């Protein structure tokens, strides 16, 4: 069975054009910028968002995250070490992962058509919002409220220091419910494979949450079509199943590159 990941489709559908609704999604430059420090100090609003999802201290006590993404003809099984960020994705006909040094791909049937260098941790980052915004080397500033269907969502803008990760030019916008402080929207730019920043902000709605142990994680996330800064209609929903978080690490060798696997060269 040929298995092809849908990430390219996810990126393409976001450029679909329709007649926009009355929606405003704007970001302004705020002169005062807060930078994540070694003391782990974050903007007050972001700390409240962390608290609404179970608290950063709880999250940092977890060692292993596992979740499945069901697809029409397959199922992806994702496992991540939350300390080292080593990961593994098991597909029907292939397995890919990161062993702490290299991204690897085991695909003896030559059926994998995706970009393993990009995909191995992509859904991990989308899934572990808002906690990944507690990482080091992030710059924070206030974003203008996002207005959708008449409701205003305050926000925080995040950018990375140069050279951090595979796409340090990416920018992120976390918008939250002003009453509950639960995360409601993620805006992001996609610059993978480019040295240039982008002003093309794509949007994911986070409005389907579930308790997992003592933290709150997405049950599903939904990409929306957009035109410029206007969010329009739901386009694609990705569900998550069999989610577990544990304080126990996987056995030694779990993320190790299999003997027959190949080191992945970046396709960016």
Averaged over successive runs of 10 residues, the pLDDT of the chain (268 residues) comes to 42 38 37 40 95 97 98 94 98 97 96 94 97 94 95 95 63 97 95 66 97 98 91 97 98 97 78
Class of 7-246 per CATH? mainly beta
Among the listed residues 207, 133, 155, the one whose alpha carbon sits nearest the alpha carbon of residue 26: 155
Domain boundaries, the chain: 7-246
pLDDT of residue 263: 97
Q: How far is CA 30 from CA 34, 171, 188, 201, 231, in A?
A: 11, 15, 18, 18, 22
Q: What is the C-alpha to C-alpha distance for residues 109 and 90, in angstroms, rounded to an integer?
A: 14
Counted residue by residue, the chain has a size of 268
């Amino acid at each position: 069975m040929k298995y092809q990941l849908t990430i390219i489709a996810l990126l393409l559908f976001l450029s679909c054009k329709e007649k926009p609704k009355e929606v405003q999604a704007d970001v302004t430059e705020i002169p005062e910028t807060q930078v994540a420090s070694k003391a782990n100090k974050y903007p007050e609003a972001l700390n409240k968002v962390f608290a609404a999802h179970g608290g950063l201290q709880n999250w940092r006590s977890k060692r292993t995250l596992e979740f499945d993404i069901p697809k029409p003809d397959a199922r992806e099984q994702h496992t991540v070490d939350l300390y080292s960020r080593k990961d593994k994705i098991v597909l029907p006909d292939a397995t890919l992962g990161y062993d702490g040094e290299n991204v690897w791909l085991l695909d003896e049937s030559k059926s994998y058509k995706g970009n393993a260098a990009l995909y191995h941790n992509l859904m991990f980052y989308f899934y572990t919002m808002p906690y990944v915004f507690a990482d080091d080397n992030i710059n924070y500033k206030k974003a203008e409220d996002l207005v959708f269907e008449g409701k205003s969502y305050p926000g925080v803008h995040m950018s990375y220091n140069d050279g951090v990760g595979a796409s340090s030019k990416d920018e992120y916008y976390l918008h939250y419910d002003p009453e509950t402080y639960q995360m409601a929207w993620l805006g992001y730019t996609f610059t993978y494979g480019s040295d240039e920043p982008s002003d093309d902000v794509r949007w994911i709605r986070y409005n389907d949450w579930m308790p997992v142990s003592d933290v709150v994680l997405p049950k599903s996330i939904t990409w929306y079509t957009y035109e410029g800064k206007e969010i329009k209609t739901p386009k694609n929903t990705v569900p998550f199943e069999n989610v577990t978080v544990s304080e126990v690490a996987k056995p030694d060798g779990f993320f190790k590159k299999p003997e027959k696997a190949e080191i992945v060269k970046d396709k960016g």
